Amino acid sequence: MNELWVVYALVFGAAMLGIQAGYWFFVRGRKTQQVINRRLALSAQGVSATAVLETLRSERKFSNNQNPILRALSGFWTQTGLRFDANTFVLSCLALIVVYFIVFGSILGFGAFAGMLALLAAVGTLALYLNITRNRRIARFSAQFPDAVDVIVRGVKVGYPFSSAISLVAKEMQDPIGTEFGMTADEISFGLDVKTALENLYRRVGQEDLLFLVIAMTIQLQTGGKLADLLSRLARTVRLRATLRLKVRSLTAEGRLSAVFLSLTPFVLIGIIRLLSPDYFSGIVDSPIMVPATVLGLGMLFLGNFTMYRMINFKY
């Protein structure tokens, strides 16, 4: 019996070490890679500043297209922080369509209606993924923004011009704010005026507090004044807004969790029933009211999610 306990202890220890190794390899290693400032990494390869800026722009498809729709789509994609690869994008879309077609086809039968639902679901899933990625990046930027303004304030107070103070943020802080402010500093150094460079920064990030910086710098450039005092007040305002934002998230956490559970419950139940009793829905699949009932159910689910979203997301 004592020998069995030794074996159990060794197996348990090996399992724990394996889990720890997997955590450090996949999770911690990925977080370490995310700390790297993309702009500094490109600069370390001996690439010129102009080439670095163009590379960062082309990777994320940032463009000043005159068409408002294409301009909005370009800005939305850029705000996700993802590097655009046309082949990967197309293959991902096709894979999603095939997966959803198989799922809907097994429930509703393989046909045009299942194909249409698969196409809509694939587009919706892709849009949801991009929106979640964008929101997470904006949240990381929001957490870094007050510290970045403080760095700019300290730089201005010791005599640096505004563009050089922005360069300090690019050198000292990690992504996403390091690369974004670095691109802004490069644009200013290449001759772009401060107002336009900051507006490009806002387009690339989409974080609302950046509007305060754009407006403050626009007014300061037109009327003059003490830039350090202006930025100090801006940093205090941004920190207060960040505190309020966290309070709002804590108060709406229950609503967000309820929305997730209520949205997933019908699909989970259908999957479990199909697994336990494959013929359970065989009597209603060919019913003439199947398609209208499915459309009505999905529409009500969308309406419920939209209502809950409006209840837990509001301006502050």
Query: What end-to-end distance do the CA atoms of the chain give, in Å?
Result: 64
Q: Higher model confidence: residue 2 or residue 261?
A: 261
- For the stretch 184-209, pLDDT in tens is 888 888 888 888 888 888 888 888 88
Q: Determine the 3-state secondary structure of 201 from DSSP.
A: helix
pLDDT at 5: 59
Reported pTM: 0.70
- Distance between CA atoms of residues 49 and 183, nearest Å: 9
Q: How deeply is 316 buried, as exposed, middle or buried, from its count of CB atoms within 10 A (0-12, 13-18, 19+)?
A: exposed
* DSSP per-residue string spanning 121-132: HHHHHHHHHHHH
pLDDT at 28: 52
pLDDT at 267: 83
pLDDT at 147: 87
> Would you place residue 169 in the very low, low, confident or very high pLDDT band (cuts 50, 70, 90)?
confident
- For the stretch 74-89, pLDDT in tens is 778 888 888 777 777 7
pLDDT at 38: 66
Task: Please check whether residue 217 is in contact with residue 198, taking contact to mean a CB–CB distance below 8 angstroms.
Answer: yes
- For the stretch 296-312, pLDDT in tens is 888 888 888 888 877 77
> Would you place residue 32 in the very low, low, confident or very high pLDDT band (cuts 50, 70, 90)?
very low
> Would you place residue 153 in the very low, low, confident or very high pLDDT band (cuts 50, 70, 90)?
confident
> Would you place residue 4 in the very low, low, confident or very high pLDDT band (cuts 50, 70, 90)?
low
Q: From its phi and psi, is residue 299 left (phi > 0), alpha (psi between -120 and 50) or beta?
A: alpha
Number of C-beta neighbours around residue 171 at 10 A = 15
Q: Is the peptide bond before 288 cis (omega within 30 degrees of 0)?
A: no
- Distance between CA atoms of residues 309 and 76, nearest Å: 20
Tokens of 43: 């600069």
